[in-house]
Amino acid sequence: MKRIFCNILIAALISCVTAFGQNQTITSALESCFNRIAATRDDSERIRINDSVIYIIDEYSRSDSVISHRFSSIRNLGQITSPDRKVKIITWNLTMADGSNKYYCYIIGNEQRGKQLRVYKMTGISSHDTIRTDILYTTENWYGALYYDIRPFRTGRQTCYLLLGLDYHDLSLTRKIIEILSFEPDGEIIFGRNCFAEGDRIKSREVIEYSSEGVVTLRFANDRAVVFDHLVPISSDKRNDRQYFGAEFSYDAYLFRNGIWRFVRDFDIKNKK
């Protein structure tokens, strides 16, 4: 009975968020959960507290104003909305005692006007496997990442979304990802598309791996250009080990041309053309 009452209370609070756009009670509850997760060193306790976060976001993601509303003060919760207001993505991660990460992602699709919002819920776990660039991923085998920017683009007759993501893989390796999100006619979502061209090689996504001790920039220069640091090994004998790679003082890029994202080495970021 107590659990049922708590569930009803949280649902009522979510309604307040959607009705008024701001609700300090819900914000405080989420902040409290994330603060408690950060304060404990016990993995089972982290997971238990995170269950409360999942319940709140479950309800929130299905609210009428989820696309327009934003929790402005919660730093641990990634919230991005596409410029066309058709997609919102909510992500967060749970860092475990061994340095591995669990990722949680909600994709709210508003791609069809007049129809009910679709909510896609995914969980991913950092693994020692490389995020592959030659396959497609779905909600069933999603690799796990925090997405921090999104832009729509058209290829053929379809609107797709370019995502910029981050994976705190482990204590030695970090990944940044350039991903493509698309909605299938049957309502399912697909991660990846053969739209990345690097010379004669065609890839489904770009994965940038580097030392967790380093800082690597990956950002949109504009709607048709994604710019990132050129990476080099710290020494010649580390060429095959990405955990010893870091940023150099130059940039590479992917430029969108004729429906394809084409790789450009030594991109001049100051050249507006």
Q: What are the residue ranges spanned by the domains of the chain?
A: 1-69, 130-273
pLDDT in tens, 103-138: 999 999 876 665 678 999 999 988 767 899 999 999
The residue ranges of DSSP E strands in 110-172, in sequence order, are 118-125, 146-155, 158-167
Please report which helix (H) or strand (E) contains residue 33, including its range. Answer: helix 24-39
Task: Give the model's pLDDT for residue 24.
Answer: 67
Integer Cα distance of 90 and 72 in angstroms = 13
**Residue 270 buriedness (CB in 10 A; 0-12 / 13-18 / 19+):** exposed
Residue with tokens 């950092």: 126
Task: Give the model's pLDDT for residue 221.
Answer: 95
Task: Give the model's pLDDT for residue 7.
Answer: 53
Task: Give the model's pLDDT for residue 130.
Answer: 82
Integer Cα distance of 63 and 3 in angstroms = 21
Positions of the chain with pLDDT lower than 70, given as ranges? 1-24, 111-115, 128, 271-273
- Answer yes or no: are the C-beta atoms of 232 and 245 closer than 8 Å: yes
